[in-house]
Structure 1
């Protein structure tokens, strides 16, 4: 059998890390991705560095009831790409994605389908699968997204230690495939939308103190406390910065109606936004496990930024 390589892409990691590089926050909705160009860059890297022809790219993501959306269907139709989907649970979290990656990696190693695997992920939960695949003779290399400083973004120490090597996707290839979303320009004669403030404008506005609100039943979103808590100054500044950047990224290109829906759902936060808040604060602070008080303060800070955003 001809020796081959393969690429295993955790789309959640790849796109969140790319969004962080482009916008400063991991909110996937803040970017547009040229998936064909992105896949081509992954294939070129794997074949050049391994010296082996590619078997295929395995693309893992989550979808409602495991049914692909329009974008995922297009990805699945790309040449040499196999789409593998987990589910989005009732709580908004992805289910089964890491399991599918691990099972495929080990199965391909056991069947000697490939000789070298490039894993585009940073998830600690994949460490044991990597070690099991290596026990069957497979070489496993982490292919990470470079952060703005050039360091690998969001790769678990345990996963890095278990892998045979860690390589970085070329920054130029990544940047050419990822575009930051901006607010659309109103058509001639159309009613202009309320402008989205820049990060600098948000940073210079006075910051109101969050106040307590009565709990409201969650409606498929994340309930958030709006009670102000005391933290060390450095962590408070980090929380403020994360909340500000996530709101700016999420609001870019949103209509007045979408912004109004956010306010109507208060104190619940959209799952996508809440995940970005927690992931970005964890990355910025170096805290892997965020305590409940920190989570409460982060969400309270987000609503304080929304209040400031809505001021005329």
Structure 2
């Protein structure tokens, strides 16, 4: 009889933990993922570790479309070789339903049927502890495959789950760093614009008192010249005649922004200013300091893909925090505090700091 290994992936845990490593927040919308590369690297790692071929990668996530149907990305994942898509659904409140139940049942039932000799579980959920023990009772070896945090140790894994499994190993750092990336460049990686690039970058930007309206029958006035136009119209003596209109540059002479300039532009017009207090170090390990640090990280990650319209929609929803953002707040707070259960004071505190930082967002 052939021997196999199998992989059971809790996608919510995998992406939230990877996002925390890459962006500082568990918000999934803040990252882009190379799914084929990620699955391929996971298969390579478990086959090398177990010495057995992979039977199947079971991929557990919530269907993003109504009725629990897969979205475009999930459709593509389901078409990958040896990948079995197992979807739960999203509730009307945007909460994930049925995913953990599917994973736990499959782990226990597949264990009893001995479909694989070694099982790799990519999760940190305490609720899967009993399913792990059920599979072990059938003679299956269960190894935990966890996501490495920024400190090099496993991120957000329950102590009960860690104690129940037969062994624990980390997903290769190169796998996470290569296949998961932020949707926007970190501010420190955005090259500063030179003087020439800055002038090109502002071409076409309307002034504060510019208007798009034109009065029928009126003679259009000459546009206000920019700095470059004034330089062109300066006389040989170095002085410009302010009484005469300055001719506008020919359209053909307007420089076109290069791809390099456009590539250095931020991906979003929504910007969160730097925090007023430190988000790491003394005072941010517990209590209000931790609440503020967690809230700032979540809002900052959200801003990387936000638009002015989504900002207006978010502010209009106050005081209700949207489901995805609320889950990220509580998950990050739990991970950083080491507390599995978050008390009411902490829940209210981190949400209050969330709205505080949302109020600080500005448009550029």
Of 204, 208, 224, 2:276 maps to 204
Aligned match of 1:159? 161
The 2-side partners of 1:270 and 1:245 are apart by 16
Of 127, 130, 133, 2:129 maps to 127
Q: Is the 8 A contact 2:3 2:116 kept in 1?
A: yes
Q: Is the 8 A contact 1:202 1:244 kept in 2?
A: no
The 2-side partners of 1:48 and 1:125 are apart by 28
Q: Is the 8 A contact 2:284 2:293 kept in 1?
A: no
SS at match of 1:279: helix
5+ residue gaps, structure 1, are: 207-230
Aligned match of 2:308? 256
Aligned match of 1:100? 102
SS at match of 2:85: strand
How far 1:173 sits from its partner (Å)? 1.3
Question: What do the CA deviations read for 1:201-245 (whole angstroms, capped 9, x no partner)?
Answer: 421389xxxxxxxxxxxxxxxxxxxxxxxx999411110001111
How far 1:104 sits from its partner (Å)? 1.1
How far 1:249 sits from its partner (Å)? 0.1
How far 1:126 sits from its partner (Å)? 0.3
Q: Is the 8 A contact 1:205 1:308 kept in 2?
A: no
Q: Determine if the alignment matches structure 1 residue 289 to structure 2 residue 341.
A: yes
Q: How does 1:52-201 map to 2 (within 5 A)?
A: 52-63=52-63, 64-182=66-184, 194-197=269-272, 201=273
Greater mean alpha carbon deviation, residues 232-241 or residues 301-310: 232-241
How far 1:33 sits from its partner (Å)? 0.5
TM (norm. structure 2) is: 0.74
The 1-side partners of 2:309 and 2:68 are apart by 29
Greater mean alpha carbon deviation, residues 116-125 or residues 286-295: 286-295
Number of corresponding residues: 285
How far 1:188 sits from its partner (Å)? 8.1
Instruction: State the superposition RMSD in angstroms.
Output: 2.5
The 2-side partners of 1:98 and 1:232 are apart by 32
Q: Is the 8 A contact 1:202 1:309 kept in 2?
A: no
TM (norm. structure 1) is: 0.85
Q: Determine if the alignment matches structure 1 residue 305 to structure 2 residue 307.
A: no
Q: Is the 8 A contact 2:308 2:363 kept in 1?
A: no
How far 1:102 sits from its partner (Å)? 1.3
Question: What do the CA deviations read for 1:53-110 (whole angstroms, capped 9, x no partner)?
Answer: 1101000001242211111111111111000001112232211111111111122221
Q: Is the 8 A contact 2:285 2:337 kept in 1?
A: no
5+ residue gaps, structure 2, are: 191-200, 207-264
Of 264, 271, 277, 2:323 maps to 271
The 1-side partners of 2:33 and 2:314 are apart by 25
